[in-house]
Structure 1
């Protein structure tokens, strides 16, 4: 088996950073009313700026494919050209199309010549699953390199216009014309952007990072769905897919809106995260002392103190001075967040040879968790 190295990390963030006060300029106001959830959600999540692939009129400026392709282009130079890419492995929860797959469309945008492609779907762990596919391909010798990406373009899903038909339907039914909290919640949580990594079977560049291992854990066998889109949740916890609804219901009930069961999120996301991380560390025989930087993808600063306390109680306390996050300035970019954290850390000038990095990505969709352990070479 080959060793696998992350030799380059890049990003692409669309347009200019957007402050909290300007979010509804871009997304619009549902029913021409300011959101009641906005202030509460933003106070808890601690995000101060984020990026949207939108104009102030809500017109898209980039597709997810273009965001991803631009992040890949930022990896390239004379020493590693687009034509050198042997595998493109892309993860996202917000593809532009139901089909073809996201990675195929990115390949078509790059026009880099013959490449193998892989698309990882899901939510936040999709980026890590794309990374693991590339890691295993290079490790097994199937390819000598892989370009892996994590990206999101959620802003276009959150435009007020997508919810106004449901509001009109509620008025017709003489019900309160207010979108449910489980839909409005995520409008103030999600951001756009893309990150990319170049994996190779030999170290290159000033500070390559060797991938020691990548682990994934799913608790779908124990827990019901928490975050979903293109479906509605029934009283028994099952999901009814969009294809089982009449087309008029797609608009009247905002079936395609991204929804979050916040009660389930609060109840399970931290406990299962600690359980899975402890299992991963014990499996590979590492302790908190073997971690110099922890890069935890958290959707909200609301969870940070609770996560730290649970780590401590479980005997895997990683001191806060080792935590590296950029949620406040970049926002929650889902499958792209861990790529954007690592890119910022790599270009911060802080890394030194021999340091160890632990990537930690939870996914609330049905409670999935991914971890990767890196050594700076």
Structure 2
């Protein structure tokens, strides 16, 4: 028997303030038609003044624990994926740990931008497989609106704030694709493309927090190629075919990218979990937000095969296969 990680609960949180494309028309030179045509985004949520990434993460974590029917005291580790920590240090994960009343175990942040949740899943899965943890909270949380230049219409319309979380628990399995578990994760990065998507600030360079800078067309080109490759990698590693996939839960950056991956997999739109129209790009939070929605509305059922994939700044990208 093999020790594997099983997702036993998921939860999410969105700030109350929903900002529509029409709202942005009054703020920047753009239009609802322009945004929808290029991205599929119609609205996004923006954190309130004083509402921090840790607040969003804590709310999503509590929702995931409630869904799992577990007490926070049973959690051994917290892995939080975020690009927008409360402070440069300590990790925002430690604030979530304190907020849950935990004084044992360990907590850490993972920074892989939009691919962060897949990276964080892989890290937590490794802790469970090696016996360092029995139960783990994996969270993706962002207040990405704090990084936006609201005069740059090419970026400010794309992003939103939110958080999603899952609870992982150690489980015994046969070690094959029939296990109800996290089957595998596949991570990549290529620093040659560092300048395609970045924030022009940092403690080491400017001592300030800057704004998002993005070469959108280049990101789009790399996304289609690299995500297709990492999806194929996950299927081959598990001896599966695209036809075995029940649900595609992609990073919610751009509907055209999502549609392109679905076409390559020959998946109908009814098998794709889509939230980009209502959430925008919430970076590391986008996959767990979408997953929680599909689980809680009953679309995802026991035994379903779920494929997750994401690409972000770095460039970083990855995929994960889960049998629910």
Q: TM-score normalised to the size of structure 2?
A: 0.88
Aligned residues: 316
Instruction: Write 1 or 2 for the structure with the bigger share of strand.
Output: 2
> Match for residue 3 of structure 1?
4
CA contact (8 A) 2:180 2:303 kept: no
Residue 248 (structure 2) aligned to one of 294, 317, 331: 294
Residue 216 (structure 1) aligned to one of 182, 187, 193: 187
CA contact (8 A) 1:37 1:184 kept: no
Per the TM alignment, residue 186 of structure 1 is displaced from its structure 2 partner at its CA by 1.7
Residue 154 (structure 2) aligned to one of 171, 174, 185: 185
In 1, the alpha carbon distance for the partners of 2:135 and 2:267 equals 32
In 1, the alpha carbon distance for the partners of 2:255 and 2:143 equals 22
Correspondence 1:374 to 2:301: no
1:201 match: secondary structure? strand
CA contact (8 A) 2:224 2:260 kept: yes
> Match for residue 35 of structure 1?
29
Which protein has the larger Cα radius of gyration, Structure 1 or Structure 2? 1
Per the TM alignment, residue 115 of structure 1 is displaced from its structure 2 partner at its CA by 2.3
CA contact (8 A) 1:148 1:197 kept: yes
Residue 72 (structure 1) aligned to one of 61, 66, 84: 61
Correspondence 1:46 to 2:40: yes
Correspondence 1:120 to 2:110: yes
1:111 match: secondary structure? coil
CA 1:38/1:155 → structure 2, altered by over 3 Å: closer, same or farther? farther
Moved more, 45-54 or 189-198: 45-54
> Match for residue 164 of structure 1?
none
Residue 228 (structure 2) aligned to one of 270, 274, 277: 274
For structure 1, list consecutive stretches of 5 or more residues without a partner in the other structure.
55-59, 161-178, 232-240
In 1, the alpha carbon distance for the partners of 2:154 and 2:314 equals 18
CA 1:19/1:36 → structure 2, altered by over 3 Å: closer, same or farther? closer
2:65 match: secondary structure? coil
Per the TM alignment, residue 209 of structure 1 is displaced from its structure 2 partner at its CA by 4.9
CA contact (8 A) 2:35 2:42 kept: no
Per the TM alignment, residue 306 of structure 1 is displaced from its structure 2 partner at its CA by 3.5
> Match for residue 235 of structure 1?
none
Correspondence 1:323 to 2:272: yes
What is the Cα-based RMSD across aligned positions, in Å? 2.6
Per the TM alignment, residue 24 of structure 1 is displaced from its structure 2 partner at its CA by 6.6
Q: TM-score normalised to the size of structure 1?
A: 0.76
CA 1:375/1:20 → structure 2, altered by over 3 Å: closer, same or farther? same
Correspondence 1:103 to 2:103: no
CA contact (8 A) 2:252 2:280 kept: no
User: Map of 1:1-377 to 2, 5 A cutoff?
Assistant: 1-23=2-24, 29=27, 34-36=28-30, 40-54=34-48, 60-77=49-66, 79-158=69-148, 160=150, 183-202=152-171, 209-220=180-191, 223-231=193-201, 243-245=204-206, 256-309=210-263, 311=264, 316-363=265-312, 365-376=313-324
In 1, the alpha carbon distance for the partners of 2:36 and 2:84 equals 22
In 1, the alpha carbon distance for the partners of 2:262 and 2:171 equals 36
Per the TM alignment, residue 63 of structure 1 is displaced from its structure 2 partner at its CA by 0.3
In 2, the alpha carbon distance for the partners of 1:144 and 1:366 equals 31
